[in-house]
Amino acid sequence: MNYYSSQITKLIEELSKLPGIGSKSAQRLAFHIINMPEEQVSGLASAILDAKHNIHYCRECFTLTDQELCPICQSEKRNHRVIMVVENTRDLAAYEKTGKYEGVYHVLHGAISPMLGIGPNDIKLKELMHRLQGDVEEVIIATNSSLEGETTAMYLSKLIKPTGIRVTRIASGVPVGGDLEYIDEVTLLRALEGRVEL
Ligand code: ZN
């Protein structure tokens, strides 16, 4: 790619490090950015830096937020006694888009995967167990239906059951191996409504 000037090459290289961006897309994006008005470019650059500097985990549910407590954990309209456990913030966003879930969440930031060497201590599981010492009525396990998601669900239910808290698993209308964020809202709602006791 050295037929471009080194600064363009650098930009293309940086963009191609992003997930899902191959070298062709990176080139297209780089030229698009170069042709954007300076104002827009600096808006984009500062949005990226601001997000990086100000976004951290919610103290309660571990979703990404720029406040100490995310808006969901802060809301009095939500039912704080029902906790839906999801693998990541994107899955939380998918459920929020349905606008029908009234409980709160817990974001694990991953799933247990013996193959990849990801154990219970590598995800926000201790933090969930800590939350369960409070007033909790139900934990809805909404990890993905992949092998890792199912392993995590089983592990969680074994851990939570002795506490006497109701543990449910979203219905498997969700395609196997499906990433929650790509599943449409109707399917998500059906999976939530059809949840089963573990
Ligand atoms: Zn929160």
Give 1 Cα–ligand 1 centroid separation in angstroms: 44
Instruction: Say what the pLDDT of residue 192 is.
Output: 85
pLDDT, mean of residues 186-198: 82
Please state, in angstroms and rounded to a whole number, the distance separating the CA atoms of residues 13 and 194.
46
Give 62 Cα–ligand 1 centroid separation in angstroms: 6
Residue 172 or 130, more confident? 130
Instruction: Say what the pLDDT of residue 47 is.
Output: 95
Instruction: Render pLDDT for 60-118 as a digit per residue (tens, 0 to 9).
Output: 999 999 999 999 999 999 999 999 999 999 999 989 988 889 999 999 999 999 899 99
106-124 burial, b if ≥16 CB within 10 A, otherwise e? bbbbbbbbeeeebeeeebb
164-194 burial, b if ≥16 CB within 10 A, otherwise e? eeebbbbeebbeeebbbbebeeebbbebbee
Instruction: Say what the pLDDT of residue 80 is.
Output: 97
Give 8 Cα–ligand 1 centroid separation in angstroms: 40
Classified as helix, coil or strand, 108 is coil
Give 178 Cα–ligand 1 centroid separation in angstroms: 25
Is pTM beyond 0.75? Reply is: yes
Question: Do 30 and 11 meet the contact criterion of CB atoms below 8 Å apart?
Answer: yes
CA-CA-CA-CA torsion sign (133, 166, 162, 118): negative
Give 15 Cα–ligand 1 centroid separation in angstroms: 31
Give 61 Cα–ligand 1 centroid separation in angstroms: 4
Please state, in angstroms and rounded to a whole number, the distance separating the CA atoms of residues 88 and 106.
9
Average predicted confidence (pLDDT) for the chain: 90
Instruction: Render pLDDT for 134-157 as a digit per residue (tens, 0 to 9).
Output: 999 999 999 988 899 999 999 999
Instruction: Say what the pLDDT of residue 157 is.
Output: 94
Instruction: Say what the pLDDT of residue 173 is.
Output: 54
Instruction: Render pLDDT for 19-31 as a digit per residue (tens, 0 to 9).
Output: 999 999 999 999 9
